Amino acid sequence: MPIIASCGHTLSESEGMGISLAIKGQSKDGSRCIRYIVACQKCATRYRSDGQVLETKQDEYNYINHN
């Protein structure tokens, strides 16, 4: 049975269970939130190059608190 990542792509055997990421998000009311997703390698690379990945807990804190 194939595994579908949060990005919507089917993961290959070499990708295993995918790459867990914390990315910048926005809630329905417009406030900042953190989305925890599992992405394929291609999408994880894209999220990183677009500056959307929050790499550390401090990055997450700063993003939520607009620092």
Give 7-22 pLDDT, tens digit per residue: 999 998 888 899 999 9
Under 8 Å between Cβ of 19 and 41: yes
**Residue 32 banded pLDDT, cuts 50, 70, 90:** very high
Q: For residue 57, is it within any domain?
A: yes
Q: What is the largest CA-CA distance in the chain?
A: 43
pLDDT tens string 35-62 = 999 999 999 999 999 999 999 999 999 9
Domain carrying residue 53: 13-64
In this prediction the pTM is 0.85
Q: For residue 43, is it within any domain?
A: yes
Cβ partners under 8 Å of residue 3, min gap 6: 10, 11, 17, 18
Q: For residue 39, is it within any domain?
A: yes
Question: Whole-angstrom Cα distance, residue 40 to residue 22?
Answer: 14
